Structure 1
Amino acid sequence: MTSQSIEHTEDSDDVTICAPRKYDIVFSNIFKYTVLHIFAFYGIYVVLTKAKWQTFVFNYITTYLSAFGVTIGAHRLWAHKSFKATMPVQIVLMLMNSLAFQSTAFVWIRDHRLHHKYSDTDADPYNASRGFFFSHIGWLLVRKHPLVLKKGKTVDMSDIYNNPVLKFQQKYAIVVIGLCCYIIPTYIPIYLWNETFSNSFYANILRHVITLHATFSVNSVAHLFGTKPYDKNIKAVQTLFVAFISNGEGYHNYHHVFPWDYRAAEFGGWLNPSKWIIDVLAKYGLVYDLKIAPKRLISARIERTGDENLFDKH
């Protein structure tokens, strides 16, 4: 099905970016992420020295599958409603999203919509104004800023709360995410090619942590280091490195200007596999109503707020 060319604007309230930086540390989260990363570092050793080659290939594939559950599912489909998907596609994306385990889709989408509405302010859950570490992973180690909690209640989530597929994930989160992220990926190598439990377990943890950091990099690197061809007044930037490791989410300056464009980029198709998959699914009618920013709107925005000297046509 062909893409729709639309114009759209998002409302944004004025929220301070200069409030005192106070951190209420959540020690249980620090412990959890510390253990997870220790296991992941050991997973590197396991994958490189002990695990079977089939296990390496399997975890390479599941890394991409889980990432698509975030980039195509939670992000482009559900958070931004940049296209529509049939029920079978939504179910598959929900399972892939559960494989990624970046909280439930309910929580991920609410935080992301809040991030776009109050980007780089104290109402932004992963506020890049607080520095690289905070926007990358630090925000998960401390309690949310009061403005995040306050403004989070104002985000319209009715479409998500009424989505039967996401309601199922939320209701049975422990079982669904536990099976998809940890149990099934660990036992498939054991039963199909006689991998040891230890090798399979640590390799799978490494897969999980790699996917986490790929997503975290969109919040951190892509808000600090790169070019701003579409809007030089915001923190979000274009960065090929993040595009490479996050299945096409690195064209972030464009994405923050046109968040409802399913491509999440004007150019860069060769580093945007999420777009490729959506295009293929659309060809077979599995997804439809793809939204795309018209060229005249893009050009007008570049002239008004962009930095044409840094225009990134990758």
Structure 2
Amino acid sequence: MPPQTHVVDDAKVEEHAYMWTQDKMMGTEKKRYKFKMQRIIYLIFFHSLTLYFLIFKPTAPMWQSHLWTFFYLCFSGFGISAGIHRYWSHKSFKARMPLKVLLAMCFAAAGQEKILNWVRDHRIHHKFSETEADPHDSRRGFIFAHFGWLVVQKNPQVYEKGRIIDMSDILSCPVVSFHDRHFEFLRAILCFAIPIGVPVYFWDEDLWISFLYNCFRFAFVLNCTFAINSFAHMRGTRPYDRNFMPVDNSYVTYVTMGEGNHNYHHAFPFDYRSTEMICFNPTKSFIEFFQNLGWAFDLRVASDDMVRKRVLRTGDGSHKFWGTVGGVPVAADENLSAY
């Protein structure tokens, strides 16, 4: 039985207040960056240990550690894709208290940032994408979009535009308040102590190996998140809106558990699926699993008609069903999102 969803089919749904053009990109001035040394050292530390673990392989982890790390990688990954992104940033579904707590724990396991800061930056990114106000403006190049934006002082426009972003829902959420108030403690426990300690305590894994393996897990999830800001804004197709810099990138989809259909996501950010296609999308299944438990409800989707009209009006012709041949729109296949 297909999940019950809240279909959005309002022609007046506000589209993003931006257009990316070649002229804007070419007109971007070179920046003089003020670096944040503490973050630079932090990133170098964990990535150096990750490279040491992958290249030199001091000792092979036990098979139980492989299973545990895969589980914890997914656990923390869902904190990004389902939690901080689709739930808190875009409100694409509603969650009952047990799911809110679980998503906050998953997000803390990723060890990235306070919920308030992450959501604010992401909402600014959507409203002012590829402008001076975009925290990780991809017009500044791959390195800046991938991780550079984290280690330099933000453009004053980011702070200025950030003041007009509505954060009332985040500020009023008790789970967010608890998470952000105890962020350092929760990160220490859920991102480091538990994933490192469990293999050592339960199956006598070597402490050094467990530590290195968790460094790899942490860095991998971090770079998967970064890939959405870099690869998914530079390499791929624009089947839903050719005027947006974000693209659909199947490789990013696989490493982020369904977040790589980024052109679709920027066209319909409220859709809990982040795509209308049937494809690799564990995050969609994760949300629907908790809907079946009664913990998630009011899942929002873009209607077939809304998607089709957008594709035919602004797409680049690469849509699988509603593309173009010689500039002539192809007839739409029926009911693509009824699954």
TM-score scaled by length of structure 2: 0.88
For the residues of structure 2 that align with 1:48 and 1:90, how far apart are their CA atoms? 39
Q: Is the 8 A contact 2:73 2:217 kept in 1?
A: yes
> Equivalents in 2 of 1:243, 1:124: separation in Å?
22
Work out the CA distance in 2 between the residues paired with 1:133 and 1:220.
8
Larger CA deviation: 108-117 vs 281-290:
281-290
- How many residues are matched? 312
1:276 aligns with 2:285: yes
Q: CA RMSD in A?
A: 1.9
The correspondence of residues 176-215 of structure 1 with structure 2, limited to 5 A, is 176-215=186-225
1:46 deviates by 7.2
Corresponding residue for 2:37? Answer: 27
**Deviation by residue 1:77-98 (Cα, 9 ceiling, x = unmatched):** 1100000011001101100000
The reply to whether residue 290 of structure 1 matches residue 299 of structure 2 is: yes
SS in 1 for 2:254: helix
Q: Could you list the per-position Cα deviations for residues 115-172 of structure 1 after superposition, in whole angstroms to 9, with x for gaps in the alignment?
A: 1001111111111111111100111121111111211122111100111111100011
Deviates more, 1:74-83 or 1:12-21: 12-21
Please list, as runs of the form range in 1=range in 2, the aligned pairs for 1:1-314 lying within 5 A after superposition. 2-6=4-8, 7=10, 8-10=13-15, 12=17, 18-22=27-31, 23-45=33-55, 49-267=59-277, 269-308=278-317, 310-312=318-320
Structure 1 residue 50: Cα displacement: 2.6
Distance 1:193 1:185 in 2: 13
Paired amino acid for 2:107 = N
Mapped to 2, the partners of 1:11 and 1:246 lie a distance apart of: 23
Q: How far off is 1:279 after superposition?
A: 1.4
| Structure 1 residues 208 and 297: alpha-carbon distance in aligned structure 2, compared to 1, 3 A threshold | same
Output the CA distance in 1 between the equivalents of 2:252 and 2:110. Answer: 18
Paired with 2:252 and 2:17, the residues of 1 have a C-alpha distance of 26
The residue type paired with residue 14 of structure 2 is T
CA distance in 2, matches of 1:13, 1:277: 32
- Tell me which structure has the larger Cα radius of gyration: 2
Q: Tell me how far 1:40 sits from its aligned partner.
A: 1.2
Distance (Å, rounded) in 1 between the aligned partners of 2:124 and 2:196:
34
Task: Judge conservation of contact 1:46–1:202 (CA < 8 Å) in 2.
Answer: no
Partner-residue secondary structure (3-state), 1:248: coil
The letter of the residue matching 2:149 is W
Q: Is the 8 A contact 1:44 1:203 kept in 2?
A: no
1:13–1:253: structure 2 CA closer, same or farther, 3 Å change rule? closer
The answer (yes or no) to whether the contact 2:19–2:243 under 8 Å persists in 1 is: no
Specify whether residues 46 and 66 from structure 1 end up closer, same or farther in structure 2 by C-alpha distance, changes over 3 A only.
Answer: farther
Deviation at 1:28, TM superposition (A): 2.3
> CA 1:58–1:173 in 2, change beyond 3 Å: closer, same or farther?
same
Moved more, 114-123 or 148-157: 148-157
Gaps of 5+ in 1: none
> Structure 2: any 5+ residue segments left out of the alignment?
322-335
Q: 2:332: which partner in 1?
A: none
Q: Is the 8 A contact 2:108 2:186 kept in 1?
A: yes
The whole-number CA distance in structure 2 between the counterparts of 1:299 and 1:220 is 27
Q: 1:186 to 1:36 in 2, by over 3 A?
A: same
8 Å contact 1:46–1:203 — kept in the other structure? Answer: no
Which structure features the higher share of helix residues? Answer: 1
CA–CA separation in structure 2 for the residues paired with 1:47 and 1:10: 49
SS of 1:42's partner is helix
Q: Name the CA distance, whole Å, in 2 between partners of 1:250 and 1:212.
A: 15
Q: In 2, are the aligned partners of 1:47 and 1:203 still within 8 Å (CA)?
A: no
* Secondary structure at the counterpart of residue 229 of structure 1: coil
| Letter paired with 2:311 | I
TM (norm. structure 1) is 0.95
1:226, 1:237 within 8 Å by CA — same for their partners in 2? yes
Identity %: 37
CA contact (8 A) 2:59 2:209 kept: no
